[in-house]
Structure 1
Amino acid sequence: MAGCTVPDTTPLSSVRLADGGAYAADVSPDGTVSVVSGVDNGIKVWETGATTPKFRWRHQGEGNNLVVSVHISADNQYVVSSDRTAFALWSVETGEPVGFWRIDESSIRDIAVANDGRGVLVGRSSGQVMYFEPGTQRRLEFLGHQEKINSVDLSPNGKFALTGGNDYTAYLWSTDSGQIIHTFHHPTRVTLVALDDAGRYLFTADSQQKSQIWDAQTGAPVSQLQYIARQKMFTDAVFSKDGKYLLTGSPSRRVNLWEVRTGELVESWKVAPRENQTPATAVVYGVGFLNPQTILTQSSSGLAETWEINYDQ
């Protein structure tokens, strides 16, 4: 791989979804829906290609927007959003809230939601992870982690959770029993975890150099992402529908496409920086595949940008 820098790249399209920038964003697995928590204008739900938002939501009424995490279910039907002390579940079909819940024990670090809104996963600064079923009010506390949670993900059916934290460990565990299925050790704190919606792979990355793709069924390593930087952080990751590629976003404007089998870099892009910010940078909050040739990114600049994949470069 030549060098550590990515030259500035030109998107196929660029649309501003949040004036003043964004605190958080997510892209649905098929790229058709985006949810953006804007600095100035609450939460907006966008259908890709639309010129106006489908819905506008707020946690705090007319107060300042403090939502720092959003996640779209794999079936595009539900969204979970959270600030540091509460989370809300929303219907993408009706635009109405399903419920609003406050967490008193410790601050919320990351969230995820299953298909049909049947389960919500909440990672907290205490190291505890809560799995909650809004329909039945069932609540399960996972106590496997010893330190602060940094990232969580949930299988589409809500049966399996993947969590990572400052204890240098990621766990795949059952939301039915809380039993650990696989344990993944890292040399430093685990900063991002991601499950393949088809159940084939999972991804765990730490704060230094270990960014690993694993076999979700056996827990065996498949590949390690190949890069020469001493430190590489990731903010989002999604597997392609065919399972051949992993798409990642980072805090430094970078979007990378990797080959799952080898961990080799296929292509890189750089999203637009946030306006009036020095240095000129942006956090890539959400990435998704629109189709095998096109990806969609959402970043702290408040922009939705589409990019062409050139597999032959």
Structure 2
Amino acid sequence: MMRIISHSVLWLIVISLLNGCFFSTNSEKRWDLAVDGSTAIALSRDARFALLYSKQQHLQLWDLNQNELLARLGIQDPEQNIISLIRFSDNGRFAVTATQTNFAIWDLGWSQSSGLWSVSDGLIQDIALGNSGDEVLIGLSNGKAIFIDLVTGRRLEFLAHVEKVNSVALSPNGKYALSGGNDHNAYFWSTESGQILRQFEHQQRVGTVELQRDGRLALTSDTGNNAIIWDLHTGERVSQLSSWSRQLIFSAARFSDDGTLLATGSPSSRMMIWSTASGKRIEGYEVEMLKDVRPPRGVVYDAAFESNQRVLSASSAGVVQAWKVSE
């Protein structure tokens, strides 16, 4: 009888582990920025600023350190199309916001838009911005990744993908791009020449890509459970994220500044911290969910490291939360 009980307890523990039940819900701090939820939120790299859009409040810029609303930026276009993507530049000075058909650049120092641009080639799937606020990378539904210098008007169409481009990342200086798509490929390429520098093949559609800010590391993740960290200098695999889950689908990803940690967010309200060297999960968190929908749900739109001891999450509930990272 005791052996049966012991085996039953062990089996329950295993089931709990496989179901990912060990996710903390105890954040150290929270900011309720949009009480009715948000369609897009971004965090600056240093986790100081948040830029969010909601139907009720439109576009707002917050200083999280001071817990202060800095600016009400309003709507993006006259039709008041819903903003679904927001990205900061690495230096935090500029941001890009996008609907499915147009995008705007914002100079956050002056709290004003630098212009509005329409895209007619396809629907915008993802977007990224360089530190100058002038260099934009767009991933489109028609398989194109387009790099645009808004000052010179130079436009480079990267045509290596043969299906929808789901995710893009741009180096802070705007010289290097990473794109991943439904064709099971991720490409690291030059925005100056369009030349492919690295190709990373997957068995399934690539849903998420991310660059570490000094260009040493890259993440490519498909819609199965293959999320791989690469050394961009050698093209070799550094690690593969280790998980019991059948799928590792990410809605957000960010490397720590020193590249030792990776934060990922999911469409199912979970954020995880990984060791880039080993691929092992260090922490797991359950972020705030929208309560007025059934069932309750929450998408992690962004994550940012305040330090290697604390990380912030931004969710579709319109809430930013700070979480402790264990030593």
Is TM > 0.5 for Structure 1 vs Structure 2?
yes
What residue is the counterpart of 1:103 in the other structure? 119
Within the alignment, does 1:60 sit opposite 2:67 as a pair? no
Q: TM-score, normalised by structure 1?
A: 0.96
What residue is the counterpart of 1:86 in the other structure? 102
Tell me how far apart the structure 1 counterparts of residues 257 and 23 of structure 2 sit (CA, whole Å).
28
More helix by share: 2
Query: 1:138 Cα deviation (Å)?
Result: 1.0
Query: 1:64 Cα deviation (Å)?
Result: 4.0
Counterpart code for 2:64: T
Sequence identity, in percent?
36
Counterpart code for 1:50: Q
Tell me how far apart the structure 2 counterparts of residues 216 and 4 of structure 1 sit (CA, whole Å).
33
Matches within 5 A, 1:291-302: 291-302=307-318
Q: TM-score, normalised by structure 2?
A: 0.92
Query: 1:135 Cα deviation (Å)?
Result: 1.4
Say which of 221, 244, 264 aligns to 2:237. 221
5+ long unaligned stretches in structure 1: none
Within the alignment, does 1:149 sit opposite 2:165 as a pair? yes
Matches within 5 A, 1:277-296: 277-296=293-312
Say which of 32, 52, 57 aligns to 2:48. 32
What residue is the counterpart of 2:19 in the other structure? 4
Query: 1:281 Cα deviation (Å)?
Result: 1.6
5+ long unaligned stretches in structure 2: 1-13
Counterpart code for 1:303: V
Tell me how far apart the structure 1 counterparts of residues 120 and 92 of structure 2 sit (CA, whole Å).
29
Q: Secondary structure at the match of 2:39?
A: strand
Query: 1:49 Cα deviation (Å)?
Result: 2.9
Q: CA RMSD in A?
A: 1.4
Counterpart code for 2:94: Y
Matches within 5 A, 1:12-31: 12-31=28-47
- The answer to whether the 8 A contact 1:71-1:80 is kept is yes
Counterpart code for 1:3: L
Query: 1:209 Cα deviation (Å)?
Result: 1.0
Within the alignment, does 1:309 sit opposite 2:314 as a pair? no
Query: 1:53 Cα deviation (Å)?
Result: 2.1
What residue is the counterpart of 2:291 in the other structure? 275
What residue is the counterpart of 2:191 in the other structure? 175
Q: Secondary structure at the match of 1:110?
A: strand
Counterpart code for 2:219: F
User: What's the CA shift string for 1:216-245, capped at 9, x where partnerless?
Assistant: 112111000000111120111111122211
Counterpart code for 1:196: Q
Q: Secondary structure at the match of 1:22?
A: coil
Counterpart code for 1:93: G
Query: 1:65 Cα deviation (Å)?
Result: 4.6
Query: 1:177 Cα deviation (Å)?
Result: 0.5
Query: 1:144 Cα deviation (Å)?
Result: 0.7
What residue is the counterpart of 2:93 in the other structure? 77
Q: Secondary structure at the match of 1:274?
A: coil
What residue is the counterpart of 1:261 in the other structure? 277
Say which of 236, 259, 262 aligns to 2:252. 236
Counterpart code for 2:41: A
What residue is the counterpart of 2:268 in the other structure? 252
Q: Secondary structure at the match of 2:142?
A: coil
Query: 1:56 Cα deviation (Å)?
Result: 2.2
What residue is the counterpart of 2:155 in the other structure? 139
User: What's the CA shift string for 1:93-117, capped at 9, x where partnerless?
Assistant: 1011111110112111110000021
What residue is the counterpart of 1:209 in the other structure? 225
- Which of 1 and 2 has greater Rg? 2
Tell me how far apart the structure 1 counterparts of residues 154 and 121 of structure 2 sit (CA, whole Å).
18
Counterpart code for 1:264: K
**Number of residue-to-residue matches in the alignment:** 310
Query: 1:25 Cα deviation (Å)?
Result: 1.4
